[in-house]
Amino acid sequence: MGGTPISIECADGFVLGGHRWTPEPPDEGPLRVVIVTAATGVPATYYHRYAAFLEENGFHAITFDYRGIGASRPEHLRDMRCRWQDWGRLDFDAVVAHVRSQWPDAEIAVVGHSVGGVVPLWAARSVEITRMLTVGGQYNYWRDWAPSVRRRFFWRWKVATPTLAALYGYLPAKRLGWMEDVPRGVAFECARRRRRMEDNYPRRERPGVRATAAAIDASILAVATTDDDYGTVSALRRPLDYLPDAPRIQVMIPPAALGHGSIGHFGLFHSRHRDDFWRMSLRWLDDGENPWPDLVVWSSP
């Protein structure tokens, strides 16, 4: 899969681990960089095959681990103080700054999976993004979960997650086979997520949370598969409503439209989708063309 290891220092001095893919310089056209943002508790290595695919097709690509995850995990995770919002406010902001330092004139796009589609909404430098593709992009509000799994997800996120995080000082998700271990503050915020994104924070911070998101004017294509129990129609729409100045399109893809029987929340970044979803995503990243015009369920005026 290649990729060159990189380190990215955040404004508070924390150093993130990541990778960079750099293609041969294109003969013409602007230099294009895609930042791939991960789901909660998913190491960036999960997206390396997709990043390598982007490189093969002329894009520079950046992957990185949020603080507390993968290559950005400290030696003692239980000592880490970190909010979910910090993954955007500090981590993603630093990645955009890193891109600008390396390629000052680049066009910056984002491919964000799950909460990775929301993380840029918490970052002041997201105003520098020109285009976003979110895949199952949502922030874990429980009423948005598919009814068939709501009871099971409620037990995992609302009961087990905060209980285990309080007991261990972090969420020991890896030993449970859920995902990577997660810092305590992130686990608590995931568990307590309310209908309005800003309601998780002190009242004095809420106007700033809304204003940071509202400043983004990048074109956004929000997609999910119809069998994604997290990325339902209402779940994808919820963060999009924070972006009044961004052209937004929401698409729901039946697995059969990609030639598969089932896909779910994590499947689209598996290499078996190289010749369907991955290939089609290039049309959006290249020139902003929605590859699924017949599957649009909502778009901004």
- What is the pLDDT confidence band of residue 253, given thresholds at 50, 70 and 90? very high
Report the alpha-carbon distance of residue 297 to residue 279 in Å, rounded: 22
Report the alpha-carbon distance of residue 68 to residue 184 in Å, rounded: 10
Q: Which of 112, 73, 74, 77 is nearest to 95 (CA)?
A: 112
Q: In the prediction, which pLDDT does 1 show?
A: 66
State how beta strands 170-171 and 182-183 pair.
antiparallel
Q: Which of 239, 236, 229 is nearest to 154 (CA)?
A: 229
Res 288 pLDDT > 90: yes
Q: In the prediction, which pLDDT does 2 show?
A: 78
pLDDT tens for 110-138 read 999 999 999 999 999 999 999 999 999 99
259, burial (CB in 10 Å: exposed 0-12, middle 13-18, buried 19+): exposed
Report the alpha-carbon distance of residue 2 to residue 15 in Å, rounded: 22
Instruction: Kindly state the percentage of the chain with pLDDT values over 70.
Output: 99
pLDDT tens for 147-194 read 999 999 999 999 999 999 999 999 999 998 889 999 999 999 999 989
Q: In the prediction, which pLDDT does 82 show?
A: 94
Buried-exposed string 45-73: b where 16+ CB fall within 10 A, e elsewhere: bbbbebbbbbbebbbbbbbbbbbbbbbbb
Q: What is the mean pLDDT of the chain?
A: 96
Classified as helix, coil or strand, 66 is coil
Instruction: Kindly state the percentage of the chain with pLDDT values over 90.
Output: 94
Residue 206: strand pairing partners: none
pLDDT tens for 65-84 read 999 999 999 999 999 999 99
Q: In the prediction, which pLDDT does 26 show?
A: 63
- Which tokens in the block code for residue 291? 């590859």
The amino acid present at 33, given as its one-letter code, is V
Q: In the prediction, which pLDDT does 301 show?
A: 84
Report the alpha-carbon distance of residue 161 to residue 171 in Å, rounded: 7
Res 290 pLDDT > 80: yes
Q: In the prediction, which pLDDT does 27 show?
A: 58
Q: In the prediction, which pLDDT does 24 show?
A: 83
The phi, psi pair for 224, rounded to 5°, reads -155, 165
Q: Which of 204, 145, 250, 183 is nearest to 40 (CA)?
A: 183
Q: In the prediction, which pLDDT does 85 show?
A: 94
Report the alpha-carbon distance of residue 95 to residue 62 in Å, rounded: 8
**What is the widest separation between alpha-carbon atoms in the chain?**
56
Which value, to the nearest 10 degrees, does the dihedral of the CA atoms of residues 122, 123, 124, 126 take? Answer: -110
How many Å is the Cα radius of gyration of the chain? Answer: 18
